[in-house]
Chain A
Amino acid sequence: MMILKMAWRNIWRNKRRSIITISSIFCAVFFAVFARSFQIGVYDKMVSNMVGMYTGYLQIQQEGFWQEQSIDNSFVPDQSVRDLLDNHNNIDEYNTRLESFALTASENLTKGAIVMGVNFEKEDLLMDLSPKIRAGEFPNEISSSLLISEGLADYYELNIGDSLILLGQGFHGASANGIFPIQGIVKLPMPNLNDRLVFMPILAAQELFAAPERITSMVLQIDEPSKLNKIKTDLGGKLNRDTYDLLDWKQLLPELVQTIQADSAGGIIILGILYMIVTFGILGTLLMMTAERMYEFGILVSIGMRKGKLILTVVLESLMMGVLGVIFGVIGITPVRYYFYLNPIRLQAKAADSIEAFGFEPVIPASLDPQIAINHAAIVLLIVLLCTLYPIAVILKLKPIKAMRS
């Protein structure tokens, strides 16, 4: 207890210096968590957009479909697979899709598009489509009507009741052509999807592509994204891997993963520079403290204090300053993160256009993931501990008489 008391009081022997040190730790935690929260927030948004809008967290596909995305690699799912998914505790629902590409045409215009045969009721649960409907409604499951993305509708200047021509290739080379009425227009948040997505009832899609009962993927809705790896491992062990591939969103969206990794590396370099500055600040304090207290260290060892205890006192002092800075930093940044979580920054004009050009929503939300603050608090405390290596080395080499003469 007295060692703790000594350490605490030692901090306040030079108030100004300690306050500056604690402030620098506060700033490091504050800005590191601030920057990282936005970075992770943006990544989460990108992932949730892409996963929620398109891929889902897990997909079951015919083995080889991912390498060669042809409708010829579609499949008719076994009843055993359906039973496995129906009875799995962590899988709330699964959507079957028949997905292919087609050339769309109207009047004198044409454009390539993704054609997705879906069950609208289930897809609404996954993609939350209802609030995004801009005109019309979901087509009936047994109809041959389309729900097209707003960008596509704008491109062709189409409205509800107009028709769109689809030209493509069906199963095993069959011709896949048809003219379909538009029953709904949906605005998708991901610009690259919003420009070229056509939904149709899965039965109509199977008929169009001459692939009755066939699907290209089963999109799994899992109860908790954080359990993804566990669910994947569990399902992977039960599925026949010669017939089926089980892919998670990282495999389905490798470009997104690479984008995040590249961007994250840039952010980490900037944080590294910030931490380097803070390290020199803390080290400077400890250098001065050590130099000032050499005489005192000599006295303490002379009267019978083991160097181990002296080191403990110095480490405690440094850690107390570190912990104070970290606590203030976390307390300071939490309301800021919360504010930007509730009120994400919306990019405007050219900044928004450049983000949209990459296919992402021009929104920068802050992440509330507590792990961010925990990680940066741990990094700062580790830096503090590393900096204490200097006084530790000095104390270990200390000769009491020499120190008392200093």
Chain B
Amino acid sequence: MEIIKTKNLSKLYKNNELEVLAVDGVSLSIRQGEFTAIVGPSGSGKTTLLNMIGGLDAISDGSVEIAGTNINSMNENELIDFRLKNIGFVFQAYNLIPVLTAKENVEFIMLLQGISPEERKKRSEELLTQVGLEDKFNVRPNQLSGGQQQRVAVARALASRPRFILADEPTANLDSQSTSKLLDIMAEMNKKENITFLFSTHDQRVIDKARRIVTIEDGKIISDEVR
């Protein structure tokens, strides 16, 4: 089943008289349960592609369908609600809410979904345990290491039971040990629970774990390799 489908997706940035085509006619299909890495050098358009797939950035041309729904025509609030229900995000800089504890950060996304407090508590504890942070429920982000914060971010991304997770350079700020642990967790979730992951990365450790590698350069897909 196709979860993500882009058709001739393009992004043109205009800055005064300077025009930059960051993504140039990308057509891509991601199926349920894939563990895909979009790779390429800095400035190749990886993050822009992910942002458009996630409905965070406007599309200049082409289309994005998520589970058969075209997101191009959605208004701002529809897009926010769509992201909340369908997409989990893991960002390079963790991006946890600093004033909430690890557990509250995971619960927060469920709160936005209107899930009951009991369900929120149960699921957030389960997810944090799954990512190996069972002893950090009540710790705030500034008391966690980078790797731990990113694991909380993964738990948060999973909390809303999304159709897929978009992870933009999730290991860029992590040391080897934390990267390895995070990748193991994500790979295990992908394997056991069939959760779809789409990464943008140029970290070889992530590339090694990926089962499909889409290489992008100058905004265009130059190779698409399934292992």
Binding site for B on A (CB under 8 A): 2, 5-6, 9-10, 13, 296, 299-307, 309, 400-401, 404
Contacts and interface: CB of A to CB of B under 8 A. Distances in A.
B49 to A, nearest CB: 13
Interface string B78-93: 0011011100010100
B72 interface: no
A2 B104 contact: yes
Secondary structure of the A contact surface, majority rule: helix
Interface in B100-154: 100, 104, 107-109, 111-113
B51 interface: yes
B189 to A, nearest CB: 18
B99 A10 contact: yes
B2 interface: no
A306 B99 contact: no
A310 B66 CA distance: 26
Interface string B58-90: 000000000000000000110011011100010
A306 B85 CA distance: 13
Contact of A300 (B81, B97, B104): B97
Contacts of A306: 77, 80-81, 112
Secondary structure of the B contact surface, majority rule: helix
Given A303-B109, A309-B112, A6 B100 contact: yes
B104 A302 contact: no
27 contacts: A5-B100, A6-B99, A13-B98, A13-B99, A296-B98, A299-B91, A301-B80, A302-B83, A302-B89, A303-B84, A303-B89, A303-B156, A304-B81, A304-B83, A304-B84, A304-B113, A304-B160, A305-B80, A305-B112, A306-B77, A306-B80, A306-B81, A307-B76, A309-B112, A400-B56, A401-B57, A404-B95
B160 A2 contact: no
A6 B97 contact: yes
Contacts of B111: 2
B56 A299 contact: no
Nearest to A305: B112
B78 to A, nearest CB: 11
A362 B112 CA distance: 63
Nearest to B85: A304
Given A2-B100, A302-B54, 15 more contacts: A2-B104, A2-B108, A2-B111, A5-B104, A6-B97, A6-B99, A10-B99, A302-B56, A303-B83, A303-B84, A304-B85, A305-B84, A305-B112, A306-B81, A401-B51
| Max chain A Cβ within 10 angstroms of own Cβ: one of B54, B89, B97, B98 | B97
Contacts of B56: 302, 400-401
Contacts of A299: 91, 95, 97
By size class, the interface of chain B is 20 to 34
| Max chain B Cβ within 10 angstroms of own Cβ: one of A9, A300, A302, A401 | A302
Interface of B: 51, 54, 56-57, 76-77, 80-81, 83-85, 89, 91, 95, 97-100, 104, 107-109, 111-113, 156, 160
B18 to A, nearest CB: 17
Contacts of A6: 97, 99-100
Contacts of B109: 303-304
A402 to B, nearest CB: 9
Contacts of B91: 299, 404
Nearest to B77: A306
A300 B108 CA distance: 10
Contacts of B107: 2
Given A2-B107, A2-B108, A401-B57, A304 B99 contact: no
B99 to A, nearest CB: 4
A304 B112 contact: yes
Contacts of B89: 302-303
A171 B98 CA distance: 88
Contacts of A296: 95, 97-98
Contacts of B83: 302-304
Contacts of A305: 80, 84, 112
B131 to A, nearest CB: 17
Contacts of A404: 91, 95
Contacts of A309: 112
B51 A9 contact: no
Contacts of B81: 304, 306
Given A303-B89, A304-B112, A305-B112, A9 B80 contact: no
A299 B56 CA distance: 10
A300 B84 CA distance: 10
Nearest to B83: A304
A13 B141 CA distance: 13
Contacts of B98: 13, 296
A5 B104 CA distance: 10
A393 to B, nearest CB: 15
B57 A304 contact: no
Contacts of B104: 2, 5
